[in-house]
Amino acid sequence: MRLLFIGDIVGKPGRRMIQYHLPKIRQKYNIDVVVANYENVSHGFGMSQKNYQEMRNSGIDIFTGGNHSFDKKEIIELMQTEPILRPINMYEETAGSGVFVDEKHKLAVFSAMGMFGMPIFENPFRVLLKEVKKYQDYNIFIDFHAETTAEKRALFLLLKDHIAALVGTHTHIGTDDLMIERAGYLSDIGLSGCYDNVIGMNEKEAIQRFLSGFSKKFDINDKCKKIFQAVVFDIEHNSCYDAFKLKAYDFQEEFISMRARKL
């Protein structure tokens, strides 16, 4: 099975990149399943029902979340019937689910959130170690939405014998440590959206916050230089045998790729 994962899709610029590039990529690279993180889809904060439908129509099959999962409360209704996840280590009383099972491809997708610098919920290491063992007959993919690379790497090393792949999101900055150690791993895939500012948001508000400690709510300027970033995993029998990154700037047709290093 060939799975493609897209990290934080930030606002309208990110949605435009998905709408333009994803249909072509699905066909060119024979993608079976597309998973994407939705938590910044609607102007950087959560995902509206309208934008969900846009992204679904563009070719995304399963949606993973993070600390902004519930910024748009209207998404709660869709979580009951659509493949939209929130972090599995949120409390049991929280709406939605942290795992989605695709029986056709024998795939189990988990959404989880880190501890450092994040809202306080259950320990994701303990939760995932217990939960992934219930799905060993499936190919397991995890989106770990976390602040630090060390936290992401440690979780991967804990789980690598029980999963097919784990990718980090949240920092919006892509890393170059794509590798295969039985399972596929990448610390952070990086955003899809504007890349000539501060993590997809206008730099004016970010600079003001660093200078003064105060700022207006972060905004997104559609007139920016845009990037599309994704990672592809070839997985079978709950392990990974090949992986590569895809990157496109603005609306160019050629994709820059980086092959995984096998350890």
Catalytically active residues, by annotation = 68
Report the 10 Å Cβ neighbour count for 76. 15
**What is the SS3 assignment for 153?**
helix
**Alpha-carbon span 7 to 172, nearest angstrom:** 8
Burial, 177: exposed, middle or buried (Cβ in 10 Å; 0-12, 13-18, 19+)?
middle
**What is the SS3 assignment for 178?**
coil
Contact predicate 6/232, CB 8 Å: no
Report the 10 Å Cβ neighbour count for 238. 23
For residue 135, the 8-state DSSP code is G
**Chain position carrying tokens 């090949």:** 242
Instruction: Fill in the amino acid letter for 107.
Output: L
Give kind and range of the element (H or E) at residue 37.
strand 33-37
3-state DSSP helix/strand/coil percent for the chain, to nearest 5? Answer: 25, 30, 45
Provide the β-strand partners of residue 234.
2, 242
Handedness of CA 210, 211, 214, 218 (dihedral sign): negative
Residue 262 has which token pair?
């096998």
